[in-house]
Chains A and B, each alone.
Chain A
């Protein structure tokens, strides 16, 4: 039981199990693991409820079946991600409110408003780019990567590159101070 309640597992063990989970998803559901289209679907649900006329005219949400504002396999997958992370966090006592994480605090400062503003902007950019590219770190990164798709590996390479450049420019901590964890 110690294994199940541990806060962290070896990254290799986690990677191996995610790989096996991909077999299961392909085999029993004929689906790759992916997340970002579910966000488009959720946005469609919200827009349909909040501004039905505007939604009715929206070309993107009507371009493919997978954006239709009703739950599907992938949308349930994302609900499951929340539930699974919650379960894992609960049994390993690893749930605590966090507004300004360690690395942000030491690199940028303790302002909660600033952190929340940039989290929002980051979220907008992350999903805008993912929808343009047709996938995110799950759909392109893991599922596309394991299928040896040239486009998915291109996505992995370019997003890793711009992410690395951005992080190295934005988060400048003093080298001597390693982030204290636990």
Chain B
């Protein structure tokens, strides 16, 4: 760990660029940078996005918790504040269905020639600016602390062992995938 970290000292911007490069490539290969794929997920006609996300969560999560157990990484949890997460998540979901991309995939879609994706990226910048204008009011109304619970994970909340939870989540996910392959098989290219 120490050697890799010191090797990367001062090169973290390049590390971010390289990791982003692979991420962008994977978003394209997965079809996540395509409007039709994302919207058809929301219309429950194409489960590509769900398959990608759940597989990433399962593989990523088991690995991160294993690395954490070995002392190689630490978690970076966003605080669980139910008020803004519920309201913001609801608004964000509506926006995503209309735009047809998540923020990362929106950027990737522009690289693939999506003109409406580019307009969407402009919209996202305006949305970020608009949120910055609204922020003092939300702060004043104490909206951003509403139902705040701090960092909260399911193993803590449920009081069960992390690995037992991963076995349950993994089992449930594999079962869901098997079900989806029967109902809506992955398209062969």
- A-side interface residues toward B, CB under 8 Å? 6-12, 14-33, 35-36, 39-40, 42-44, 46-47, 58-61, 63, 71-89, 92, 94-104, 115-116, 118-164, 166-168, 170-171, 179, 181
Q: Distance in Å from the Cβ of A5 to the closest Cβ of chain B?
A: 10
- Nearest CB to that of B105 among chain A residues? A137
Known: A127-B95, A132-B131, A162-B89. 9 other contacts (CB 8 A): A21-B26, A22-B60, A27-B72, A31-B76, A78-B107, A85-B111, A123-B120, A130-B103, A134-B84
CB proximity to A under 8 Å, residues B2-36: 4-5, 8, 12-36
Choose among B48, B81, B98, B139 the residue with the greatest number of A CB atoms under 10 Å from its CB.
B98
Choose among B27, B72, B111 the residue with the greatest number of A CB atoms under 10 Å from its CB.
B111
Do B112 and A85 touch (CB < 8 A)? Answer: yes
- B-side interface residues toward A, CB under 8 Å? 1, 4-5, 8, 12-36, 39-40, 42-44, 47-49, 51-61, 63-64, 67, 72-82, 84-100, 102-117, 119-136, 138-139, 144, 149, 151-155, 157, 162, 165, 177, 186-187, 189
21 contacts between A and B (CB under 8 A): A16-B59, A19-B57, A21-B22, A23-B73, A29-B15, A39-B124, A43-B132, A71-B13, A79-B20, A101-B39, A121-B95, A126-B98, A126-B102, A126-B103, A126-B120, A127-B126, A129-B90, A129-B92, A146-B64, A153-B154, A167-B43
Do A126 and B124 touch (CB < 8 A)? Answer: yes
**Cα-based distance from A128 to B88 in the complex (angstroms):** 7
Do B95 and A125 touch (CB < 8 A)? Answer: yes
User: Given the known A-B contacts A19-B63, A26-B64, A154-B82, are A119 and B116 also in contact in the complex, defined by CB atoms under 8 Å?
Assistant: yes
Do A127 and B79 touch (CB < 8 A)? Answer: no
**Cα-based distance from A60 to B155 in the complex (angstroms):** 33
Do B20 and A133 touch (CB < 8 A)? Answer: no
Do B23 and A148 touch (CB < 8 A)? Answer: no
Q: Distance in Å from the Cβ of A180 to the closest Cβ of chain B?
A: 10
User: Given the known A-B contacts A59-B136, A88-B25, A103-B36, are A155 and B13 also in contact in the complex, defined by CB atoms under 8 Å?
Assistant: no
Do A142 and B55 touch (CB < 8 A)? Answer: no
Choose among B52, B124, B155 the residue with the greatest number of A CB atoms under 10 Å from its CB.
B124
- Nearest CB to that of A7 among chain B residues? B189
Q: Distance in Å from the Cβ of B112 to the closest Cβ of chain A?
A: 5
Do B98 and A26 touch (CB < 8 A)? Answer: no
Q: Nearest 7 CB-CB pairs, A to B?
A: A80-B20, A123-B123, A15-B55, A84-B24, A19-B59, A151-B80, A125-B95
Q: Distance in Å from the Cβ of B161 to the closest Cβ of chain A?
A: 12
**Cα-based distance from A148 to B79 in the complex (angstroms):** 12
Choose among A83, A84, A157, A179 the residue with the greatest number of B CB atoms under 10 Å from its CB.
A84
Q: Distance in Å from the Cβ of A8 to the closest Cβ of chain B?
A: 5
Do A81 and B55 touch (CB < 8 A)? Answer: no
**Which chain B positions have C-beta within 8 A of A134?**
78-79, 81, 84-85, 88
Do A63 and B124 touch (CB < 8 A)? Answer: no
**Which chain A positions have C-beta within 8 A of B67?**
23, 26-27
